Amino acid sequence: MTSSDDTPVPDYPGRLRLDGRRFVVIGAGQGIGRQTVHALASVGARVVCVDLDADRAREVAGEVDGVPVVGDATARSGATRIFDESSAALGGLDGVVDIVGMARYATLLELADEDWDWHFDIVLRHAYLTVQLAGRALAAAGTGGVLAFVASVSGLTSAPRHAAYGAAKAGLMALVRSAAVELGPAGVRVNAVAPGVVWTPRVSAFLGEEGRARNVANTPLRRVALPADIAAALLFLCSDLAGYVSGQTLVVDGGVAAKFPYPMAED
């Protein structure tokens, strides 16, 4: 303490620890999901690794001595089974990180109804089910907990050629805010991260080296995001370092959203 401040100083590194806490990572098989599994496990969490692909779920779980679970989180029956199996395997739940989301590219004038519906399933429906099913379990346990989601800058700004994806991600961020207010009295925090372009295995295969170079040039930090960058932000939101953070979406895009739209001068 000092002569003017006797406030206790917490163990800040200790607040990052998640020793013994029980987390479910949905979409754990590769990219951001796999890195998030490793991030949580590295600070002591016990992790259930959920993926549609059984081999991916098993492989990632094997890396961290986790529990593999295979299921479709976009269907109520699948999501119910995922949380039932996860809770049984871990003896309860303390948090969920939901990574799932993809986009199909088409202009609004070309977009088919089927693709519109698909986006809201793959981006938003599983998040709604996670909030409802995991939220009930966390609230009933009476010990608080964490729900964290992966949104997108496409839900914060225009999303040409993937407007349905952007609309669904905007819906996800609205869901996060509402869930934070409703679940807050039970001590459950709900947040999201909003990445820009992330160099996952799927994105790298789609954009190639030309796309990487274009995004590097467009980013103030002069590199594309790696899955570990997003996993680090999710780890912060899951930890007690973020113990008073709820209802928020943290933009993790290397500074792109902060740019004025004029081209930047060459360095």
Q: What is the DSSP letter of 266?
A: P
Per-residue confidence (pLDDT) for residue 197, from 0 to 100: 87
d(CA 196, CA 261): 16
Q: How do residues 57-102 score in pLDDT, each as one tens digit? A: 999 999 999 999 999 999 999 999 999 999 999 999 999 999 999 9
Q: Helix (H, G, I), strand (E, B), or coil: what is residue 209?
A: helix
Tokens standing for residue 172? 């996800």
Tokens standing for residue 117? 């519906």
Residue 221, number of CB atoms within 10 A of its CB: 12
d(CA 237, CA 233): 6
Report how far apart, in Å, the C-alpha atoms of 2 and of each of 6, 12, 13 are.
6, 19, 22
Q: Catalytic residue numbers?
A: 165
**Residue 61 resides in a domain:** yes
Per-residue confidence (pLDDT) for residue 128, from 0 to 100: 98
Per-residue confidence (pLDDT) for residue 93, from 0 to 100: 98
**Residue 78 resides in a domain:** yes
Per-residue confidence (pLDDT) for residue 209, from 0 to 100: 86
CATH code at position 89: 3.40.50.720
**Residue 206 resides in a domain:** no
Query: Which helix (H) or strand (E) element contains residue 148?
Result: strand 145-150
Per-residue confidence (pLDDT) for residue 150, from 0 to 100: 98
Parent domain of 26: 19-196+227-251
**Residue 218 resides in a domain:** no
**How many domains, in total, are found in the chain?**
1
Per-residue confidence (pLDDT) for residue 208, from 0 to 100: 84
Report residues of the chain scoring pLDDT below 50: none
Q: What is the DSSP letter of 142?
A: T
**Residue 175 resides in a domain:** yes
Q: What is the DSSP letter of 121?
A: I
**Residue 264 resides in a domain:** no
